[in-house]
Amino acid sequence: MTLRTERIRTLDQIRAFLDGNQPADFELTDRTSAYAFVRRTLVRFEYHGLGKPDKGLLRRFIEKVTGFSRAQTNRLIAQHRRTGNIRDHRRKPPANAFRRRYTPHDAALLAEVDEAFGQPSGPATKAILWRMFHVYGDVRFERLASISNGHIYNLRKTRQYRTGRLTFRKTRPTPVAIGVRRKPQPDGKPGYLRVDTVHLGDHGGKKGIYLINVVDEVTQFQHLGAVPRITQQFLVPRLEALLSAFPFAIHAFHADNGSEYVNRFVADLLNKLHVPAFTKSRPRHCNDNALVESKNGSVVRKWLGHIHVPHALVPQVNTFLHDHLCPLLNFHRPCLFPTEVVSASGRVKRRYPQEDVTTPYERFKTLLGAEDFLRPGVTLDQCAAATTHLAAAQAAQRARAQLFRAVGQARNSVA
């Protein structure tokens, strides 16, 4: 900082300068010059002998000219009072630094050893370095042969070591050749199924049963099955029974990325049933399997909740699902079906008009050429006309109450 303040000689001139009436021409260049200006000002006005008001006036003058903060100015004044001088005490390397014993070449050599041996522990690395010099006579290891165990880890933190040792590779996802990662496109045809698993709950450290939920995207036909564990031993046979329960041919099977479905056992089952497409959800597309996940909440949790069901009651649960709940869902329980509407801004929105609220069976009947989609020998009219909506719902409620009583008795007997 080169300052030209020769015209400011008295405290009154400083006061006029701070009030904006006294002109002063100066320009800032560097911190060293600013420190020199502070020292000259303190000496010129004999700061340490002034009264408190005049000291405050001089401090404000220094702050305004140099741009230093109040705290920094106070530190400089305190340093001048102690030492009679003002120096820059910011951290700097020592004038006579200690000579480094281990060079960047030694760090690179240590990186070479760690790269070859897979970075062993400190004692093992120390033994290797010692033997490389004393046993094999490699003069490159002369300094490293006497390195301490702790200093090995110090060298591993240096820039020279990291440059020679580390190689960065992008994360490579494990390729899974089962299933195609895309959203199914049913084009208004039934037979495009979505599947998910629901765990009913644990009790006393024991796992409860799992429900397999399979839903058709177009008609919302739904079938549920229970298994004690989601292993291929239990899941594959139950999944085969659920797929066979749909009245129409299966054209696609879609799951999330869970390993209970994306495996060779399920893939072999789909090949056996002649299902042409096996798809799985895409990353960052949470709506790919949204239909079946919404059914998990609106159907499975609503009817069975989170109650723990012992594994021994899996046959009774499957009987309830097959004889009561699934017929109710497919023939007597209305569902909401979306209609896509394009807004003025071009955004696609879904609407659920009242006239489209109907059962999966009635929805299937509205499809063009619905009879052609049915499996050979399958008829649906008799199932729909066997009972009324209310009677089917009441029968399902009685069956559920009976199932819950059985679950309570089983849990009490175990307790």
Q: How many CB atoms lie within 10 A of CB 390?
A: 9
**According to the model, what pLDDT value does residue 28 have?**
53
How far is the C-alpha of 14 from the C-alpha of 57, rounded, in Å? Answer: 8
How far is the C-alpha of 206 from the C-alpha of 386, rounded, in Å? Answer: 40
Distances, alpha carbon 400 to alpha carbons 168, 215, 219, 406, 407, in Å: 58, 21, 25, 10, 10
**Whether residue 302 has pLDDT greater than 60:** yes
Give the list of residues 6+ apart from residue 237 with CB closer than 8 angstroms, or none.
none
| Identity at 316, one-letter amino acid code | Q
DSSP classification of residue 288: T
How far is the C-alpha of 110 from the C-alpha of 331, rounded, in Å? Answer: 74
Local confidence band at 7 (pLDDT 50, 70, 90 cut-offs): low
**According to the model, what pLDDT value does residue 3 have?**
45
**According to the model, what pLDDT value does residue 314 have?**
94
**Whether residue 168 has pLDDT greater than 70:** no
- Backbone phi, then psi, for 57, in 5-degree steps? -60, -45
Three-class DSSP category at 322? helix
Beta strands in 177-287 (DSSP E): 180-181, 192-199, 202-203, 206-207, 210-216, 222-227, 252-255, 277-280
Three-class DSSP category at 315? helix
How far is the C-alpha of 350 from the C-alpha of 214, rounded, in Å? Answer: 23
**Whether residue 1 has pLDDT greater than 50:** no
Report pLDDT digits (tens) over 79-131.
999 988 888 776 666 666 677 888 889 998 998 888 888 788 888 899 999 98
Residue 310, Cβ density class (10 Å: 0-12 exposed, 13-18 middle, ≥19 buried): middle
- Residue pair 201/208 in contact (Cβ under 8 Å)? The answer is yes
How far is the C-alpha of 406 from the C-alpha of 415, rounded, in Å? Answer: 14
Radius of gyration of the chain, Cα coordinates, nearest whole angstrom: 41
Task: Give the dihedral of Cα atoms 187, 278, 214, 356; nearest 10 deg.
Answer: -10
* The CATH fold of domain 180-414: Nucleotidyltransferase; domain 5 (3.30.420)
Q: How many CB atoms lie within 10 A of CB 108?
A: 16
Structure-token match 């001088």, residue found? 85
Nearest to 362 by CA among 341, 332, 390: 332
How far is the C-alpha of 213 from the C-alpha of 279, rounded, in Å? Answer: 16
Domain ranges of the chain: 2-83, 104-165, 180-414
Tell me the β-bridge partners of 180. Answer: 279
**Range scoring the smallest mean pLDDT among 164-178, 308-322, 349-363:** 164-178
DSSP classification of residue 9: -
Once rounded to an integer, what is the mean pLDDT over residues 15-28? 63
Local confidence band at 228 (pLDDT 50, 70, 90 cut-offs): very high
Segment holding 291, helix H or strand E: helix 290-295
**According to the model, what pLDDT value does residue 2 have?**
43
